[in-house]
Structure 1
Amino acid sequence: MQVALVGLGVMGKNLALNMIEKGITLVAYDKNPHAGEELLSCAKSQGMADRLHIVSDLGDMVRRLEAPRSILLLVPAGELVDAVCNELVEAGVQCNDMIVDCGNSNYKDGINRKLKYQNKFEFATMGISGGAEGARHGPAMMASGSEGGWERIEPWFEKAAASYNGESCFARVGQSASGHFVKMVHNGIEYALMQLIAEVYQLLRIGTGRSPKEVADIFNEWSEGQLNSYLLSISSHILSLENNKQEPLVDLIDNKVGAKGTGLWTAQNALELGIAVPSLVAAVQARHLTNVCDTTAAQEMTYATKATSKVDIELDELKDAFTLASLLAYRQGLALIKGASRTHQWKVDLSKTLQTWRAGCIIRADYLDSVAQGVEFIDTLEKESNALRKVAGQAVMSGLAFPVLASTQTYLATLTTPSNGHLVQAQRDYFGEHGIKTHSGEICHLTDLVEIDAKVR
């Protein structure tokens, strides 16, 4: 099996070694010749150089590959993807060749590129999660595009991906650019889970006065049970680390949080599609707030420091609240994927999507089986629901910030208790005559139901 790979940065290099190890003959290229030399050196040291061919230009790459060709792009998102695609067209790729964008591109760019290049080659997308370590030893791989192109290489990618209980974490999740959309939402869920863990840490550290190591022990205990997940495990490890002065490592780190854009894209697309994912949006805004002092509006948005209060949190209730909040972060993400799939007619398979997340990726967790059971299962979690209410209330009363915890409780409450939407809709009709719908299904205006004083209006 022959595959080509363009882009030998950290992810490209490690994925290349993974693929060679799995038996794929790889033709690789990077505009930086040192990147190719480094990859070849690594392959030689591991006795795999016979399956690697480094080329000096894309023309040579195309000539070396037998048609129909399969070429992976691991280059930075944006204009460079189009530049490489155009060069490949000039180099002689054909209609039956498949070019796969494996970077963190915006799915809208993937839709446009599929149309742009439809008479030149088959354009497909694949989201890859797991970082450098995952790329080397088995990442989560969320592919999309027509079945035809993937059929010839799918068995090999199933081997290169991570596996869980004997099942590969590679899947063609849907059509068009749905692979990148699924990866984008994966990252949005990642934002929410990271922020949620940080908020629980904040509640235990400042709200109850525990040390980082004590919080690490709690997280470690949770990780040994049903809450076992990659993010909770690394958080426990981070909180246990100290420098040579026995100072907690976490206390030495600047409080500003970085972001690369996929979380923001998740929030933006949810708003555009009209699908509520408040936990994911709150996590994005939480990162923005940590950087508020660097904005032009800093003076208007910076307030005096306020005192906070200690709280008495029952650990079993906190665990239950954390469990439900985690499940709801995934469910919001899946609802967004389902809504986008319906809008774009992608036919995304949610069960395949969850399978790709079972191992190799950042949001892997043992409780994904519970997520797969859906809303019906979440409706049975009465103890956890009550715990989320109580803990969210206690947390807010401490005076500390809990954007994801509070948003998640609001999300669940909005969907399970009486809404206040009738008053808001009445307000809209009062000043804008947008119309209201009565319980009988009639569409009318407030003035049809009651006479309103013109002076008040």
Structure 2
Amino acid sequence: MQVALIGLGVMGKNLALNLIEKGISLVAYDKNPDAGEDLLSIAKSDGLAERLHIVSDLTDMIKRLETPRSILLLVPAGELVDRVCQELIEAGVDANDLIVDCGNSNYKDGIARKLKYQNKFEFATMGISGGAEGARHGPAMMASGSEGGWERVELALEKVAANYKGESCFARVGQSASGHFVKMVHNGIEYSLMQLIAEVYQLLRLGCGKSPQEIATIFDAWSETELNSYLLSISSHILKLEGHNNEPLVDLIDNKVGAKGTGLWTAQNALELGIAVPSLVAAVEARHLTNTYSTHAAKEMTYQTRPTLVAQLDLDELKQAFHFASLLCYRQGLALIKGASRTHQWKVDLAKTLQTWRAGCIIRADYLHQVAQGNEFIDALESEVTALRNVTGIAITTGLAFPVLAASQTYYATLSTPSNGHLVQAQRDYFGEHGLLTHAGELCHLTDLADIDAKVR
């Protein structure tokens, strides 16, 4: 089996080593010749060089590949993807060749490229999660589009992907560019889970006065239960690390959080599609708030430092609240994927999507089987619902910030208790005559329901 790979940065290099280790013959290219030499050196030291061919230009790559060709792109998202695609056309790819964009591209770009290149080659998209370690030893791979071309490379990608209980974490999740949309939402969920863990840490550290080591011990205990996850385990490890003077490492790190855009895209697309994902949006905004001092509006966004209060928490109840909030983060993400699939007619398979997340990716967790059970499982969690209410209330009274915890509680409460939307819609009709629905499903106006003598000015 033969595959080509363009882009030998951190992800590309490690995926290349994974491919040849699994028995796939690989032709690799990077515009930086040093990247190719570095990959070849590592492959030789690992005894894998016989299946690796480094080429110096794309024309040479095209000549070396058997037709129809299968080429993976691991280049930065944006204009560079189109530039490489154009160079491949000039180098001699044909309409039967499969080109797969494996970067963190915006799914809208994927839709446009599929149309742009439809007579030049088969264009497909695939999201990859797991970082450098995942790429080397088994990532999660969310593929989509180009039904015919995928058949040539599915076996190879199933081999290099992570494996969970005998099932590969590679799957074609849906049509068109749905693979990139699923990966985008994966990252949005990742944002929310990271922030949620940080909020639990904050509550235990500043609200309860516990040390990072003590919090790490709590996280380790949780990891012995159904709450075990990759993000919880690395958070525990981070909290155990110390600097040169035996200070907790977390205390030496500046409170500014970076982002590469996929979380923002998740929030934007959710708003455009009219699908509420408040926990995911709150996590994006939480990152933005850590960078307010760097903005032009810094003076308007900086307030006086206030004291905070001590919290009296039951650790078992905190664990239940964290569990429930985590489940809600996943469920919001899946609702967004389902809504986008319906809008774009992608036919995304949510079961396959969750299968790709079982291992290898950043949001892998032992409780994903609970996420898969849906609302029926969520509605059966009586004590967890109460725990989230109680813990959120206690947390907020400390004066500290808990955007994802509070958003998760608000999300579930809005969908499971009486809403206040009837008054808001009445307000809209009062000043804008937008109309409203009665419980009987009739469209009318306030004037149809009551005598209104004069409008308030």
- Fold match, TM over 0.5? yes
1:40 alignment counterpart: 40
Please give the per-residue CA displacement for 1:266-310, whole angstroms capped at 9, x wherever unaligned: 000000000000000000000000000111111111100011000
Aligned position for 2:131: 131
Greater mean alpha carbon deviation, residues 59-68 or residues 105-114: 59-68
- Post-superposition CA distance 1:7-33 (Å, at most 9, x none): 000000000000000011000000000
After TM superposition, where is structure 1 displaced by more than 4 Å over at least 4 residues in a row?
none
* Local SS of the residue matching 1:313: coil
Partner of 1:111: 111
Which residue is 2:249 aligned to? 249
Provide the rounded CA distance (Å) in 2 between the counterparts of 1:242 and 1:30: 38
Alignment of 1:3-22 (within 5 A): 3-22=3-22
1:442: Cα distance to partner? 1.1
The TM-score normalised by the length of structure 2 is 0.99
Asked if the contact 2:3–2:25 (Cα under 8 Å) also holds between the matched residues in 1, the reply is yes
| 8 Å CA contact retained: 2:123, 2:146 | no
SS, match of residue 15 in structure 2:
helix
Q: Does residue 72 of the first structure (1) align with residue 79 of the second (2)?
A: no
2:143 paired with 1:154: no
Aligned to 2:442: 442
Q: Which residue of 1 aligns with 2:169?
A: 169
Alpha-carbon distance between aligned partners in 1 of 2:455 and 2:443, rounded to the nearest angstrom? 25
Residue 294 of structure 2 is aligned to residue 294 of structure 1: yes
Identity over aligned residues, as a percent?
81
Matched, 1:141 2:134: no
Amino acid across the alignment from 1:335: A
SS in 2 for 1:272: helix
Say yes or no: does 1:59 pair with 2:59. yes
Q: Which stretch of the first structure deviates more once superposed, 395-404 or 53-62?
A: 53-62
CA contact 2:129–2:362 (8 Å) conserved in 1: yes
Q: Which segment drifts farther, 237-246 or 367-376? A: 237-246
What CA deviation, in whole Å up to 9, does each residue of 1:343-398 have, x standing for no partner? 00111000000000000000000000100101100000000000000000000001
Measure how far apart 1:106 and its partner are: 0.3
Q: Provide the C-alpha distance between the structure 2 equivalents of 1:416 and 1:443, rounded to a whole number of angstroms.
A: 25
Number of the residue aligned with 2:49? 49
Could you say what secondary structure the match of 1:276 adopts? coil
Structure 2: which 5+ runs fail to align?
none
Asked if 1 retains the 8 angstrom alpha-carbon contact of 2:14 and 2:136, the reply is: yes
SS where residue 150 of structure 2 aligns?
helix
Q: What does 1:52-451 align with in structure 2 at a 5 Å threshold? A: 52-451=52-451
1:454 offset after TM fit, Å?
A: 3.2
SS of the residue corresponding to residue 452 of structure 2 reads coil
In structure 2, how many angstroms separate the alpha carbons of the residues matched to 1:189 and 1:409? 16
Deviation by residue 1:231-255 (Cα, 9 ceiling, x = unmatched)? 0000001001112321100000000
What amino acid does structure 2 have at the position aligned with 1:36? G
Amino acid at match of 1:172: R
CA distance in 1, matches of 2:44, 2:263: 39
AA of the residue aligned to 1:77: A
Separation of aligned partners in 2, 1:146 and 1:260? 27
Q: Secondary structure at the match of 1:123?
A: strand
The aligned length equals 457
Question: How many angstroms does 1:455 deviate by?
Answer: 4.7
Question: What does the per-residue CA deviation read over 1:392-427, in whole Å, with 9 as the maximum and x for residues that have no partner?
Answer: 000000100000000000000000000000000000
Counterpart amino acid of residue 135 in structure 2:
A
Secondary structure class of the residue paired with 1:72: strand
